[in-house]
């Protein structure tokens, strides 16, 4: 049984593990070894996660029956989704879809008009199913390693529509 709740400081350590495992185990489906290594190097440490998840963004975690995080995501006040990661153990089970649904509900409750993100190949496929559109493919380098992601967005209300 999975429950979705707000982030707590004690979730930060397991979030680093979820990030690391997702990148290491799921990343190779779409990216080469050098690209996966560069992506893994961007992983926040627990202290960085604590700071990020309490900086004004709305952060949720999906937890198992032992209250241990298995997935997490966030929405910043401007609608940016910075993180949406799941343990490979729950990938494809509907946990991330439920988590995303709660994030979108929170964005609607905060009158955010548009959600947007920089999505990996894997995240892009998921987000397209949630109604996002690809704005553009973004090709860039990190420490000399070419990598790419996608600028994606989803309008929650029409431009100019009152909140």
| 143 three-class SS | coil
The burial class, CB within 10 Å (0-12 / 13-18 / 19+), for 125 is exposed
Contact residues for 150 (Cβ-Cβ < 8 A; gap 6+):
118, 119, 120, 121, 124, 134, 135, 136, 137, 138
What value does the mean pLDDT take over residues 90-113?
Answer: 95
Quick one: pLDDT at residue 161? 62
**Could you read off the pLDDT of 39-93 as tens digits, one per residue?**
999 999 999 999 999 999 999 999 999 999 999 999 999 999 999 999 999 988 9
Task: Tokens for 3, please give them.
Answer: 């429950």
Q: Assign 159 a pLDDT band (cuts: 50, 70, 90).
A: low
- Residue 163 pLDDT more than 70? no
Quick one: pLDDT at residue 100? 97
Neighbours of 152 (CB within 10 A): 21
What value does the mean pLDDT take over residues 15-40?
Answer: 95
Backbone angles phi, psi at 141, to 5 degrees: -125, 145
Which CATH topology does 3-155 take?
A: Aminopeptidase (3.40.630)
Domain boundaries, the chain: 3-155
- Residue 157 pLDDT more than 90? no
- The runs of H, that is alpha helices, within 45-137 are 46-53, 95-109, 121-129
Q: Assign 6 a pLDDT band (cuts: 50, 70, 90).
A: very high
Q: Which residues of 132-147 are buried (b: 16+ CB within 10 A; e: fewer)?
A: beeeeeeeeeeeebeb
Residue 33 and residue 54: Cα distance in Å, rounded? Answer: 32
Kindly state the DSSP code that residue 41 receives in the 8-state scheme: T
């Amino acid at each position: 049984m999975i429950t979705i709740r707000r982030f707590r400081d004690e979730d930060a350590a397991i979030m680093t593990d979820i990030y690391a495992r997702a990148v290491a185990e799921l990343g190779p489906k779409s990216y080469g070894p050098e690209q996966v290594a560069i992506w893994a190097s961007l992983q926040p440490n627990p202290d960085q996660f604590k700071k990020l998840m309490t900086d004004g963004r709305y952060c949720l975690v999906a937890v198992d029956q032992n209250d241990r995080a298995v997935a997490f995501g966030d929405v910043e006040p401007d609608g940016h989704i910075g993180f949406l990661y799941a343990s490979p153990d729950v990938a494809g089970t509907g946990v991330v879809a439920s988590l995303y649904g709660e994030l979108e509900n929170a964005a609607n409750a905060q009158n955010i008009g548009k959600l947007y993100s920089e999505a990996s190949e894997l995240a892009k496929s998921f987000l397209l199913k949630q109604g996002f559109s690809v704005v553009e493919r973004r090709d860039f380098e990190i420490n000399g390693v070419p990598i790419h992601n996608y600028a994606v967005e989803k309008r929650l209300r029409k431009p100019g529509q009152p909140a």
